[in-house]
C-alpha cells in the first residue's frame, strides 16, 4: 500500500519552499518546538481546502502553526493538544498583545508582582532543574512563571520559556543546547568561562524578546478563537460541527516531544519528571491515537468537509521501521468508510530541526487530503 501511496502522490508545489513573511509571521518564532510545520505549508493547505469564516479544527496543535495561520486567514479556530507546552504556545500566539507597548506594559506589571511572591525552598526543587540555572536566576524565573500562570498570561509565559536555556548571553540558563535541554559544561567549563555561570537578569532578556517579536510592528487582529485547551484526542468532545480538520498527528516513533521539552514543561507542571516515555513510541499506542481520532474528531467533521493530515512517510528509528502514513490511512478508512482519499501531496523535509542529526527520523511527509462523504 505504501508504494501505491507514493506513486499516486503529487510533488509539493514550489511555493512550499518559500519562507512566508506575512503579517504576524514573527509569532511563529515565539519559542522553539521540535517537528514544527512550516507556516507556508499550513497557509497553503488552509487556503486550498477552507474558506473564510469556516471552523478549522487542529486536534494536535503543537506549536500553534496551523491555528495561527487559520486565524490570520479569517477562519474560526478550534485547537487542542495533550502537551501543556504546546497549549501554552498555541494560546500565546493567538492571544498576543497587538502592540509592543501593550506587551511591555504587561511585562512590567508581571515582573513587579512576581518580586512580591514568596521565594522557593531550593531543596524542594529537583536537582535536574537546579543544575541548569544560577540560584537567583531560577528563583526569579519561577516566581515570574507563577505570576503568569496565576494571571493566565500565556503570551509572557511563552516568552519566558523561549529564553529558558541556551549558551548565548540572551538566555537564562548555564551553557546548554537550545532545542533539547542538556548542559554543555564540558565544552564551556566554569573554570574557563566563569561569566557564563553568573546570575542572568530576567527583565532585560524578556524585554529583548519582546522587541524581537514586535520588530515588524503591530500584530493584526485575529479571527474568532472558539476553543483552545489541553485535551488529548481520547477526551475530545465538541457540541458543534467543524468545516475542516487540518492537523499533523504526532509522528510515530520519530520525535521525543516530552523529553525534548521537559525543562519547559516543568515550569508549567511541577510534576514533570526528567524522563518520560513517548506516547507514540509503540505501534499499539499510535493505533490507539488513530482510533481516538476517528471516533472523536472525524465524527464532528461536517459532510463534505475536508480532513487534511500531515504525516511522516517512513521512519527508521530505535531499530524499528514504521510507516505512519500507510498505517493511519488504512485504519481511518476502515473505521470510517465514508471517508474518501482525494489527494496525496509528497514533501521533502530538508530542515534538520524536523529530524534527528543521525538522519534516523522521517525525511519525507505525505499530506493526506480526505473528504467526508
Instruction: Take residue 329 and report the three cell numbers written for it.
Output: 490511512
Residue 136 has pLDDT above 70, yes or no: yes
CA distance 31 to 224: 23
Intra-chain end-to-end CA distance of the chain, in Å: 22
In the chain, what are the helix, strand and coil shares in percent, each to the nearest 5? 40, 15, 40
Dihedral angle over CA of 145, 151, 154, 155, nearest 10: -90
| Helix extents (H) in 199-310 | 202-213, 257-260, 262-268, 283-296
Those residues whose C-beta lies under 8 Å from the C-beta of residue 66, and which sit 6 or more positions away, are 37, 42, 46, 56, 58, 79, 246, 247, 248
Listed in order, strand segments (DSSP E) in the chain are 10-11, 55-58, 76-81, 225-230, 242-247, 301-312, 315-317, 320-322, 339-348, 364-372
**How many helices (DSSP H) and strands (DSSP E) are in the chain?**
13, 10
Least confident of 21-30, 35-44, 102-111: 21-30
- Write down the pTM of the prediction: 0.90
**What is the sign of the dihedral through the CA atoms of 259, 154, 267 and 189?**
positive
From-to residues of CATH 3.40.50.150 in the chain: 2-96+224-372
Decide if pLDDT at 237 tops 90. yes
3-class SS of residue 362: coil
**pLDDT of the residue at 352:** 42
pLDDT of residue 358: 45
pLDDT at 308: 97
Angle between helices 283-296 and 324-335 (to 10 degrees): 40
Q: How far apart are CA 56 and CA 34, in angstroms?
A: 23
Report the pLDDT value the prediction gives residue 187, as an integer from 0 to 100. 95
Q: What is the dihedral of CA 254, 257, 261, 266, to 10 degrees?
A: -150
> Quick check: 118 pLDDT over 70?
yes
CA distance 290 to 286: 6
What is residue 89's predicted lDDT score, i.e. its pLDDT? 97
Query: Considering the chain, what is the average pLDDT of its residues?
Result: 88
The answer to whether residues 279 and 320 touch, using CB atoms and an 8 Å cutoff, is: no
What is the secondary structure of 293-304 as a DSSP string? HHHHTGGGEEEE
Mean pLDDT of 300-320: 78
pLDDT of res. 314? 58
Of 37, 84, 75, 96, nearest to 249 (Cα)?
37
Question: What is the per-residue pLDDT for 178?
Answer: 87
CATH class label, 2-96+224-372: alpha beta
Residues 6+ apart with CB under 8 A from 342: 306, 369, 370, 371
Tell me what the mean pLDDT of segment 190-197 comes to.
Answer: 97
**Mean pLDDT, rounded, for 178-203:** 95
Q: Which residues, 6 or more positions from 154, have their beta carbon under 8 angstroms from its beta carbon?
A: 88, 91, 92, 95, 148
- Is residue 20's pLDDT more than 80? no
Amino acid at each position: 500500500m505504501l508504494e501505491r501511496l507514493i506513486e499516486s502522490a503529487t510533488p509539493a508545489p514550489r511555493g512550499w519552499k518559500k519562507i512566508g513573511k506575512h503579517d504576524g509571521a514573527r509569532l511563529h518564532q515565539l519559542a522553539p518546538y521540535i517537528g514544527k510545520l512550516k507556516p507556508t505549508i499550513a497557509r497553503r493547505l488552509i487556503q486550498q481546502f477552507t474558506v473564510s469564516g469556516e471552523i478549522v479544527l487542529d486536534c494536535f496543535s503543537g506549536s500553534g502553526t496551523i491555528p495561527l495561520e487559520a486565524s490570520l486567514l479569517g477562519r474560526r479556530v478550534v485547537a487542542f493538544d495533550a502537551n501543556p507546552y504546546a497549549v501554552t504556545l498555541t494560546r500565546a500566539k493567538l492571544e498576543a498583545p497587538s502592540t509592543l507597548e501593550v506587551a511591555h506594559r504587561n511585562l512590567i506589571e508581571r515582573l513587579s508582582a512576581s518580586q512580591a511572591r514568596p521565594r522557593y525552598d531550593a531543596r524542594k526543587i529537583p536537582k535536574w532543574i537546579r543544575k541548569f540555572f544560577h540560584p537567583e536566576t531560577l528563583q526569579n524565573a519561577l516566581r515570574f512563571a507563577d505570576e503568569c500562570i496565576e494571571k493566565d498570561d500565556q503570551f509572557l509565559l511563552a516568552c519566558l520559556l523561549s529564553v529558558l536555556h541556551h549558551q548565548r548571553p540572551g538566555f537564562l540558563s548555564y551553557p546548554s543546547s537550545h532545542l533539547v535541554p542538556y548542559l554543555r559544561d564540558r565544552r564551556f567549563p566554569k573554570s574557563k568561562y566563569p561569566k557564563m555561570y553568573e546570575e542572568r537578569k530576567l527583565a532585560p532578556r524578556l524585554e529583548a524578546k519582546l522587541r524581537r517579536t514586535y520588530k515588524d510592528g503591530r500584530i493584526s487582529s485575529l479571527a474568532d478563537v472558539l476553543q483552545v485547551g489541553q485535551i488529548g484526542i481520547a477526551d475530545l468532545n465538541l457540541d458543534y460541527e467543524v468545516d475542516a480538520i487540518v492537523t499533523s498527528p504526532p509522528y510515530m516513533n520519530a520525535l521525543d516531544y516530552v523529553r525534548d521539552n521537559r525543562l519547559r514543561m516543568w515550569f508549567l507542571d511541577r510534576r514533570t519528571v526528567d524522563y518520560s516515555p513517548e506516547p507514540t513510541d509503540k505501534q499499539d499506542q499510535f493505533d490507539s491515537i488513530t482510533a481516538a481520532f476517528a471516533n472523536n474528531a472525524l465524527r464532528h467533521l461536517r459532510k463534505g468537509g475536508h480532513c487534511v493530515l500531515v504525516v511522516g512517510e517512513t521512519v527508521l528509528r530505535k531499530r524499528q521501521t514504521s510507516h505512519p502514513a500507510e498505517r493511519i490511512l488504512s485504519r481511518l478508512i476502515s473505521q470510517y468508510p465514508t471517508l474518501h482519499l482525494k489527494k496525496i501531496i509528497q514533501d521533502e523535509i530538508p530542515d534538520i530541526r524536523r529530524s534527528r542529526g543521525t538522519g534516523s527520523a522521517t525525511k519525507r511527509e505525505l499530506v493526506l487530503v480526505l473528504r467526508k462523504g
